[in-house]
Structure 1
Amino acid sequence: MLERKQLKNRTQVTFVLPADTPEGPVSVVGDFNHWNPAAHPLQPQGNGTRAAQVSLPTHSTHSFRYLAAGDYWFDDPTADHHDGTNNHIHT
């Protein structure tokens, strides 16, 4: 799930997943972090989810995917667009 919060010239995007689906560590990777899995690991939240926040320029489009343990790549069904390879978010 994607949550957005408009800031002055940025959009704070929170990437949210259930705590145990899939099991193990998960990172959000994309063009905003040079596809680096160490940059934005999802962290456990008090409400039973895990999340990572990224601040992106307003009025921009970014590609991303999730990467879980075992080199398991997966999509976010709430993304603004899917091109067959990546998810896209518009801020």
Structure 2
Amino acid sequence: MLERALRKNTARVTFVLPPGMPAAEVSVVGDFNDWRPGVYALTPRKDGNRAVTVELPTGRSHSFRYLAAGDHWFNEEAADGQDGPNSLIHT
């Protein structure tokens, strides 16, 4: 799931995964962090979901994926589209 809050020049995008999907540690990686794992690791919230918030410039499209431990890559079902094998979000 994606939660968005638009501001003047940025969009606060929160990437949210339900508990246990997958059970391992997960990072969101994309063109906004040079595809580096661990920079935006999802952490538990009070509701049991895991999430991380990223500030992105508005008026752009960004490719991203989730990366879990064990080199398990997966996409966001609620993404705005696909960019090849990656999820796509428009800010």
TM class by shorter chain equals over 0.9
Structure 1 residues 76-87: aligned runs within 5 Å = 76-87=76-87
Match of 2:73 in 1: 73
Match of 1:90 in 2: 90
Instruction: Normalising by structure 2, report the TM-score.
Output: 0.96
2:37 aligned counterpart, secondary structure = coil
Task: Specify the code of the residue in structure 1 equivalent to 2:16.
Answer: V
Per-residue deviation at 1:19? Answer: 1.7
RMSD of aligned residue pairs (Cα, Å): 0.8
Per-residue deviation at 1:84? Answer: 3.5
Per-residue deviation at 1:74? Answer: 0.3
Structure 1 residues 45-84: aligned runs within 5 Å = 45-84=45-84
List structure 1 runs of 4+ shifted beyond 4 angstroms: none
1:27 aligned counterpart, secondary structure = strand
CA distance in 2, matches of 1:22, 1:80: 22
Per-residue deviation at 1:52? Answer: 0.6
Task: Specify the code of the residue in structure 2 equivalent to 1:81.
Answer: G
| Residue deviations 1:1-45 (CA, integer Å, cap 9, x gap) | 111001121000000001211011000000000101111000000
Instruction: Normalising by structure 1, report the TM-score.
Output: 0.96
* Unaligned 5+ runs, structure 1: none
CA distance in 2, matches of 1:77, 1:51: 15
Match of 1:27 in 2: 27
| Residue identity (%) | 57
2:32 aligned counterpart, secondary structure = helix
Task: Specify the code of the residue in structure 2 equivalent to 1:21.
Answer: M
